[in-house]
């Protein structure tokens, strides 16, 4: 069933405006998505009427925000089907969630000569924290490559995992290639060799229902701002069995049990990993975004986004000299490409003049650029509020710009 686009687009007031004199076409959803009115209203209500720091006082405001914050944790628990709310930790984003795991898991479990496996298609956020940790702990990174079609070479994974492999970190959906990785298969392969798995769900959580218990992943991370929620809020799901054994990441208020100058003891999870005042209004806004998604049929939104992808891929392939990077059979609404003879930055700037927002650059994925031997790419990425008409506008704009060069 096609979603009710008129109604949906009304929920996202930012979309209804002109940019550079043209109706906005927002195709940069993989970088950040827009927020529905419901999320904006909830954040406003808490800023206007009910602001009080959580967990710290007995007054009306503090009680209301604490309830809403813990309610948000329960909403996220249900969204992920986590076993218990304590396994849901609020962070500032997917990046911080991965840094938390790399740091704390590294402190607890990584020794010299141990190995961490990542893939060639990771966002920098799922490479650099592991590298930093490996440098600290004397461990090394191994990289699972992908083929030119953008599909991971899974047949190599079994042999890559050794008795020294301590964790595997892989993206659910590549932000540059759009590849949807077979994470259930990857997780079960790794688990057969007792290797825990972190899934970077930054690009997947906006599009799929996630079930961390069925997937059996050890960690799952995502950001609020890519899934119709606020910036500055993210989630780390972790199995209790790991989180209990991992030392805190940041020190400060809330993460402690008792502080003395001789010795400090730490709080239980999730608070052990939530030092300082969290972005509680962000967490409440994120829960509202999840409720918004839950009020729709997420699977049918995702099918519609896939139709947009197919339509855009079909159109773009008709443009001579246009190369699409990443053509995995299982692909999400992301198309990265270049047009021969046109610098991606020129293309991005000129598209902007026509009211079309796309991402240009290295897409925080230098190894993907190196794989294809390019400096930059242009990326269009879709959300369920985009339309077939917008894809037509985009296609016509590319034809027009190509003719100019």
Show which residues are catalytic.
364
Give the CA distances from residue 295 to residues 28, 31, 138, 194, in Å, rounded to whole numbers and listed in that order. Answer: 24, 24, 48, 38
Q: Which stretch binds ligand PMP (CB under 6 A): 74-82, 119-127, 246-254, 342-350?
A: 119-127
Nearer to ligand PMP, 75 or 99 (CB): 99
CA gyration radius, the chain: 22
* Cβ neighbour number for residue 92 with a 10 Å cutoff: 18
Report yes or no: 172 and 199 within 8 Å, Cβ to Cβ.
Answer: yes
Our CB check for ligand PMP shows the closer of 126 and 336 to be 126
- Mark 334-373 with x for binding to ligand PMP (rule: CB under 6 A) and - for no binding: ------------------------------x---------
Nearer to ligand PMP, 26 or 397 (CB): 26
Pairwise CA distance, residues 369 & 257, whole Å: 46
Judged by CB under 6 A, does residue 203 bind ligand PMP?
yes
Residue 128 Cβ vs ligand PMP, minimum distance, rounded to whole Å: 11
- Integer Cα distance of 228 and 382 in angstroms: 13
Part in contact with ligand PMP (CB under 6 A); list of ranges 200-208, 212-220, 273-281, 331-339: 200-208
Q: Residue ranges of the alpha helices (H) in 81-209? A: 94-109, 128-137, 157-160, 183-192
Question: Which sign does the torsion angle of CA 230, 231, 233, 235 carry?
Answer: positive
Stretch that binds ligand PMP, among 196-204, 243-251, 335-343, 395-403 (CB under 6 A): 196-204
Q: Is residue 125 a contact residue for ligand PMP (CB under 6 A)?
A: yes
Site for ligand PMP contains 200 (CB under 6 A): yes
The closest alpha carbon to 102, from 36, 167, 39, 45, belongs to 167
State the binding string over 15-54 for ligand PMP (x if CB under 6 A, else -): ----------------------------------------
One of 26, 89, 93, 220 touching ligand PMP (CB under 6 A): 93
How, if at all, do strands 140-144 and 165-171 pair?
A: unpaired
How many binding residues for ligand PMP (CB under 6 A)? 13
At closest approach, how far in Å is the CB of 221 from ligand PMP? 8
- Kindly tell me the burial class for residue 349, based on how many C-beta atoms sit within 10 Å of its own C-beta (0-12, 13-18, 19 or more): exposed
> Whose CA is closest to 44, among 281, 387, 357, 308?
281
> Residue 378: which residues within 8 A CB-CB, separation 6 or more?
336, 337, 338, 339, 344, 347, 348, 358, 359, 360
* 236 contributes a contact to ligand PMP by CB under 6 A: no
DSSP state of 38: H
Of 75, 95, 360, 393, the one binding ligand PMP (CB under 6 A) is 95
Nearer to ligand PMP (CB atom), residue 117 or residue 202? 202
Decide: is 127 part of the binding site for ligand PMP (CB under 6 A): no
Q: Does 309 bind ligand PMP (CB under 6 A)?
A: no
| Cα maximum dimension of the chain | 72
DSSP reduced 3-state for 197: strand
Q: Which is nearer to ligand PMP, 29 or 393 (CB)?
A: 29
Residue of 42, 103, 123, 239 interacting with ligand PMP (CB under 6 A)? 123
Among the listed ranges 184-192, 195-203, 291-299, 301-309, the one in contact with ligand PMP (CB under 6 A) is 195-203
- Give min distance, CB of 201 to ligand PMP, in A: 8
Note whether 94 binds ligand PMP by CB under 6 A.
Answer: yes
The Cα-based distances of 354 to 26, 112, 118 in angstroms read 11, 54, 39
Query: x/- binding map, residues 141-180, to ligand PMP, per CB under 6 A?
Result: ------------------------------x---x-----
**Choices 33-41, 123-131, 161-169, 269-277; region in contact with ligand PMP by CB under 6 A:** 123-131
| Residue whose C-alpha is closest to residue 50's, from 60, 61, 40 | 61
Interface residues with ligand PMP (CB under 6 A)?
A: 93-95, 123, 125-126, 171, 175, 200, 202-203, 223, 364
């Amino acid at each position: 069933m096609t979603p009710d686009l008129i109604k949906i687009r009304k929920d996202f007031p930012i979309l209804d405006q002109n940019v550079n004199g043209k109706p906005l076409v927002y195709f940069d959803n993989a970088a950040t998505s827009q927020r529905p009115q419901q999320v904006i209203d909830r954040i406003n209500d808490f800023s206007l009427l009910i602001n009080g720091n959580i967990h710290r006082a007995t007054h009306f405001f503090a009680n209301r925000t604490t309830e809403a914050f813990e309610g948000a944790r329960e909403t996220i628990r249900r969204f992920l089907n986590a076993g218990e709310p304590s396994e849901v930790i609020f962070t500032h984003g997917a990046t911080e969630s991965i840094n938390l795991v790399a740091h704390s898991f590294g402190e607890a479990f990584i020794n010299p000569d141990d190995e961490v496996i990542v893939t060639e298609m990771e966002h920098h956020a799922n490479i650099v924290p592991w590298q930093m940790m490996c440098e600290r702990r004397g461990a090394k990174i191994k990289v699972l490559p992908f083929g030119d079609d953008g599909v991971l070479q899974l047949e190599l994974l079994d042999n890559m995992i050794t008795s020294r492999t301590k964790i595997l970190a892989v993206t659910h959906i590549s932000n540059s290639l759009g590849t949807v990785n077979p994470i259930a298969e990857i997780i079960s392969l790794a688990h057969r060799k007792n290797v825990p798995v972190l899934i970077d769900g930054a690009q997947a959580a906006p599009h799929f229902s996630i079930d961390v218990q069925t997937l059996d992943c050890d960690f799952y991370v995502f950001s609020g701002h890519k899934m119709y929620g606020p910036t500055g809020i993210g989630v780390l799901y972790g199995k209790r069995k790991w989180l209990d054994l991992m030392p805190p990441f940041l020190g400060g208020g809330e993460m402690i049990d008792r502080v003395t100058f001789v010795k400090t003891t730490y709080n239980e999870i999730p608070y052990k990993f939530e030092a300082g005042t969290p972005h509680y209004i962000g967490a409440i806004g994120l829960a509202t975004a999840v409720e918004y998604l839950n009020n729709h049929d997420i699977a049918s939104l995702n099918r519609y986004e896939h139709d947009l992808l197919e339509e855009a891929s079909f159109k773009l392939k008709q443009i001579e000299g246009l190369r699409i990077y990443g053509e995995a059979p299982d692909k999400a609404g992301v198309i990265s490409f270049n047009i021969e003879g046109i610098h991606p930055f020129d293309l991005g700037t000129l598209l902007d003049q026509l009211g079309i927002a796309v991402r240009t650059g290295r897409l925080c994925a230098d190894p993907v650029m190196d794989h294809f031997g390019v400096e930059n790419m242009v990326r269009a990425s879709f959300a369920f509020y985009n339309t077939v008409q917008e894809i037509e506008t985009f296609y016509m704009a590319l034809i027009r710009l190509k003719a100019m060069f």
